[in-house]
Amino acid sequence: MKRFFILFLSIVTLQLNAQKNVEVGRSTTNYLTIINIYNTSSNTVVVLNAKTDSTVGLTLHAPEDDSPFILSDFKGNRFALIKQDGWDGPNNDGFGLIDLQANKSKEFKLYFNKIDDLEKIYSITEVNCDGDGCWNFYDIEISENDDYYHPEDVEVEFDKVWIDYDVYNDDSEYGMRIHTKFTIHKMEGKLCYMIIRFINAEGEFLTSTSYEYSNDDGELRIEDNLRPGYEDAVFSDLENFMPYNEFKFSSGDYYLKMDIDLVYANGDLIKHLKMYNFTFSRQ
């Protein structure tokens, strides 16, 4: 993607982006990384993160533009960009120019026509764009990261959950702070996630269009990635924040539930931790 400020970028060789399961052999950008690639029932999803050391303008092109992203396999087959989530640009469907502030991260997802075999992916590139100012990735490999294996004999002991209402987070958002206490046994060094979803009085999951607070099914959720540092890892006060504006309710009292789960890196359930009842009030 072309910057709207003059930046000098060097071609990054043998760039390793292994936060999850992706290795990139060659890239033309040093400020954008691929975090993850996975398949849903209908799409191949690429998760990327942008971060620079100075404030810049960056443009994510829509599928109908001249330079959209495409995904290609080793045989040269192309898989078109369908939509994105998390960019928050001014154009239709959130595409377009944004100002990325210095040292701030921007994580977003690209949804492509599905390639059934992820191991056949070769590149993710911008059409009609070649050079240091483009967001092009080549020699992509989907690796078998150890995080995706299920350790044997995992045990989880859940203790309690409690809530601080009517507080602010570091971004001055108004909401509630959720505290949990639990212990994970025999997961030392392995990635897992604690996920909190919200259920209304009718037993339906609340939904959200916010990238930060929703999953691929559009369910309102908080996701916290954990990597226990010990064989017996105690999380005595794990804090998460939920802004009140994510609850799309009018005035009144609402009886809700939090569905709290611990899952492996691939999304498989480790243990259901708690179904916690609480009341949300809006004046």
Q: How far apart are CA 118 and CA 74, in angstroms?
A: 11
- Bridge-based pairing of strands 174-185 and 155-168 is antiparallel
> What region, left, alpha or beta, does residue 119 occupy, with left being phi > 0 and alpha being psi -120 to 50 degrees?
alpha
Confidence of residue 235 (pLDDT cuts 50, 70, 90): very high
Q: 143, 173, 205: which is the final residue of a domain?
A: 143
Asked whether residue 84 is assigned to any structural domain, the reply reads: yes
- Residues 221, 273, single domain; the answer is yes
Could you report the per-residue pLDDT of 201-212, keeping only the tens digit for each?
A: 999 999 998 878
Quote the pTM value: 0.64
> What region, left, alpha or beta, does residue 86 occupy, with left being phi > 0 and alpha being psi -120 to 50 degrees?
left
Q: The tokens of 29 are what?
A: 């950008």
**Bridge partners of residue 144, in order along the sequence:** none
Could you report the per-residue pLDDT of 5-51, keeping only the tens digit for each?
A: 323 232 232 233 333 478 899 898 888 999 888 888 788 989 899 98
Asked whether residue 3 is assigned to any structural domain, the reply reads: no
Identify the pLDDT of residue 266: 77
Sequence-distant (6+) residues with CB within 8 A of 87 are 60, 94, 95, 96, 98, 106, 108
- Residues 119, 48, single domain; the answer is yes
Identify the pLDDT of residue 268: 86
- Residues 179, 122, single domain; the answer is no
Please, are residues 271 and 262 in contact by the beta-carbon 8 Å criterion? yes
Asked whether residue 6 is assigned to any structural domain, the reply reads: no
Asked whether residue 85 is assigned to any structural domain, the reply reads: yes
Residue 135 structural domain = 12-143
- Minimum mean pLDDT range among 53-62, 140-149, 258-267: 140-149
Check which CATH number belongs to the domain holding 91 and give it: 2.60.40
Q: The tokens of 188 are what?
A: 């030392």
Count of CA atoms in the C-beta half-sphere (13 A) of 135:
23
Sequence-distant (6+) residues with CB within 8 A of 49 are 32, 33, 35, 105, 106, 107, 108
Count of domains forming the chain: 2
Asked whether residue 148 is assigned to any structural domain, the reply reads: no
